[in-house]
Chains A and B, each alone.
Chain A
Amino acid sequence: MTSTLNQRFTFDTFVVGAANRLAVTAGRTVAENPGSAYNPLFIYSGSGLGKTHVLMGIGHAAKALAPQLNIEYLTLDEYVEAFHAAIAAGQGDAFRRRFQNVGVLLVDDVQFLTNRKEMQAELLRLTEALQQAGHQIVLASDRPPAEIADLDERLISRFSGGLVVDMGVPDYETRVAILRRKADERGTAFQPGVLETIAKIEFPNVRELMGALNRIVAFQAVNDTPLNEEAVRKVLGIPTGAPPTAASPTAASPDEFSQFLTDVTTTVGKAVEAWRARVTEAVLRWEGEGYRTGRLQKLLDQHTPPAVDEEIAAYVQDVERLKALAAEVATLDPQAAGDKVFHDPERMEDAEATAARVRDGAAPPPAPSAVFPLDGYMPGPSNEVAVSAARDVIAKPGKKYNPLVIVGKSGLGKTHLLNAIGLALARKKGAIVACLSTQGFVDELIAAIDGNRVDWWRARYRRCTALLLDDIQLLAGKQRTQEELFNLFNQFLDAERQLVFTAPAHPNTLEGLEERIVSRLEGGLVVEVGEPDKEVRRRALERLLKHQHVAADAALLDYLGDRPVDSVRTLSGLVQRVVEAAAAQDTAVTAGLAREVLEGAPPAGARRTAGARTSGLVVSSAGGVRSREKMVWDWPASADRVIEDLR
């Protein structure tokens, strides 16, 4: 359940500035002398300032110095989940033992301890055990211990007992250094002054700084010439300024001791019968991982060495199979993966049966709608950046722009673009694409909570290779969904799986979204879809008229194309009205008719139809919607209804 350390997050790739030097130095010290320098080390900072990076950096550095050291990185949420799974499987003690044997434990997002009394008690116990054993614990949070609401006093004092350091917003020079490094990593060259211009903006965190860089990269990709300073200012629009270095102490080498250890090992090895040692080693190892070892222990009761190696090999093979089954089941239903049968090599058949049951019950997440292909999307100057970004995302999912946030007003085709990306991604091999409305996402979670299947719900999304959510603003005020999305978000980013969202406006202007979500949204690429320009309108008209089987003459196209509309959807409404009117009068659709319908003096027969109350609902005149009462334009106008009532 624990996450692996992201290879990109090492101290070498971390740009050190005045605001974070203390945290990085403390981190390096801890990595070099785990358990002795500052224990626990508590790092806090606002969202997007590099806590996770430093945490993983400590892990990498400690691993590099002592490869045999057992290092675990996990978020509090993963810890909680692993704990629950262990408890469910009756493996509570094994779980505790496992964490007590960790040499360096890195726990991220500890702020989520709020309102989790039982986890606080568990973490307190673990912290004490690790400290006593001289093992290192490093915690990261978005606020200092004392400000984590509802946190046990004992935990506060324990956390504060080590070293508490914060990381601030990077200064101008650091920001420039970060931008240069990131631009290098992306292999993108900029004109002189461009990066400095971006760095002048005082972003509240590094993630948003990366978002700004992404924007510039995206804009430069659709322009033939590199962006200059002025263009950058136009794309971003705002301006503001200290120095970077790092320190590293060294540790004494335990050479004499290592030598001693090797010698003792040799002596013990000679003293214990070799086959017994092999069996005990295997027993210890698998017992430590929570597997039942009765089969191996029976070997020890025998006097003469049986076919030890074969027995152990067979056992290991069974365990590997169990692991594979458990892993497969975990992606479908984590709760089921905690089942005892997956830890008992003597019950292989039961394990296979349980896995088969879970497999049958798994349902794929909602897929993108096939009615929105990318070639059906009309590109034009108003949306070319968005379309270009979409193509980039399709070409390199998870690598180039992650997340991609498409913003724009209603009816401009965000949903279309979202589904189009989803469809293209879903065509890739092994892809599982979840594409749905945010409302649907929230409803599913509520249903899962109601059915006590949250684990199953989570697993369903976790195994997706891409997650696309429409109308992300609907998350406002839905804290639980935001928390779940936040966790998914991190997992997707770590695993370089693509995230795409749509929103009516820039994420940082949306109300009711938590800071951590906003900063993550801003940290990818935010592209706008503008009101359709003439080119887009014209192409859209051609397509709409073709759908209605109407011959598009130039006059009609010119007239409709010049109508003041703010979205393709409105345009579609106009076309609909004109086509309806033409059908009612049994005449051809012409520019003249369109003008009559849209600007007044409508023909008698089309009077009711011409009420300006289209819903935007597109109904084919060929009768796409059969039920007439559902057609808004057939309802009597309100004036008529009043008269009828009076009579």
Chain B
Amino acid sequence: MSLVNFTSREITCKIVYYGPGRSGKTTNLHYIYERVPDTRRGRMVSLATQTDRTLFFDFLPIDLGQISGFSTRFQLYTVPGQVYYNATRRLVLQGADGVVFVGDSQARQLDENIESLQNLQANLLEHGVDVRTMPLVMQYNKQDLPRELILTPAELDDALNFRSVPSFAADALHGKGVFEALKAISELVLKKLAAGSPAT
């Protein structure tokens, strides 16, 4: 669904924030939302449970305006992290152009991270997409927690980042690593779009 559409001169990118429950995906979107000028952002749609867990998904459209003659739009989605919402995750993942995997840096969450990464792989496969061709960046969130509770980015890279994609240490609540991850995934997606788009 993503495209460089030469006829309507539009570029639309769908970027999905994926990861285990409570890893900070919605926080990423909130941070971005607050930094984007009003004129550029659409309404952030968030369907959450009473305890603030994402029930369905968050959606944040951002209008980047005219870039090289293309009207460029980013659509940022999060998936619900909890295991029992897999159907929703699969749905949201459909047509994604890029994935930001938001990992939880806490040592005790490592298994959840691995499980979620495997789930991502499985869901992409259901859509007929090989995870190796999908633009992906890793974001290790909650790096602001006490040292003894968390793993370092290097340890996390060892445990999760088999493909050696770009990875970022992050503290989404305060914005560290948020735009860095968004920028990295945007570049990957745009490069892939350009490479894959027809000549006209």
Interface of A with B (CB < 8 Å)?
Answer: 33-36, 69, 103, 133-135, 252, 254, 256-257, 259-261, 263-265, 267-272, 276-284, 300-301, 303
Contacts and interface: CB of A to CB of B under 8 A. Distances in A.
A215 B100 CA distance: 71
Given A254-B37, A271-B195, 14 more contacts: A134-B41, A257-B37, A257-B40, A260-B183, A260-B186, A261-B65, A267-B191, A268-B194, A272-B4, A277-B68, A277-B70, A278-B69, A280-B9, A281-B69
Contact of B190 (A103, A256, A264): A264
B39 A283 contact: no
B69 A264 contact: no
Given A257-B40, A260-B179, A268 B68 contact: yes
B187 interface: yes
Nearest to B197: A271
Contacts of B41: 134
Contacts of B9: 280, 283-284
- State the main secondary structure of chain A at its contact with B: helix
Contacts of A134: 38-39, 41
B200 A256 contact: no
Contacts of B40: 257
B42 to A, nearest CB: 8
Interface in B118-168: none
Nearest to A303: B199
A39 to B, nearest CB: 10
B69 A280 contact: yes
The 7 tightest CB contacts between A and B, nearest first, are: A271-B194, A280-B69, A281-B69, A277-B68, A268-B67, A134-B38, A267-B190
Contact of A268 (B6, B38, B70): B70
B39 A34 contact: yes
- State the main secondary structure of chain B at its contact with A: mixed
Contacts of B11: 268
A155 B11 CA distance: 36
B87 interface: no
Contacts of A303: 199
Chain A CB within 10 Å, residue with most, of B36, B68, B72, B194? B68
Interface string B168-200: 000000010001001100110011011100011
5 contacts: A69-B39, A263-B186, A264-B72, A268-B68, A268-B194
Contact of A265 (B34, B38, B67): B67
A281 B65 CA distance: 12
A278 B69 CA distance: 7
Given A260-B179, A264-B183, A279-B69, A271 B193 contact: yes
Given A281-B68, A300-B200, A35 B186 contact: no
Contacts of A276: 69
B189 to A, nearest CB: 9
Nearest to B32: A257
A257 B69 contact: no
A272 B70 contact: yes
B64 interface: yes
A97 to B, nearest CB: 12
A8 B66 CA distance: 33
A268 B39 contact: no
Interface in B1-30: 4, 6, 9, 11
A469 B99 CA distance: 72
B108 interface: no
Contact of B68 (A269, A283, A300): A269
Nearest to B7: A300
Nearest to A284: B69
Given A267-B191, A271-B190, A271-B193, A256 B35 contact: yes
A254 B70 contact: no
A133 B61 CA distance: 12
A282 B38 CA distance: 27
Nearest to A104: B39
Nearest to A300: B200
Contacts of A260: 179, 182-183, 186
Contacts of A133: 39
Contacts of B72: 264, 268
Contacts of A277: 68-70
Contacts of B4: 271-272
Nearest to A254: B37
A30 to B, nearest CB: 12
B186 A280 contact: no
Contacts of A278: 69
B70 to A, nearest CB: 7
Contacts of A267: 186-187, 190-191
B172 to A, nearest CB: 13
A90 B121 CA distance: 53
A35 B38 contact: yes
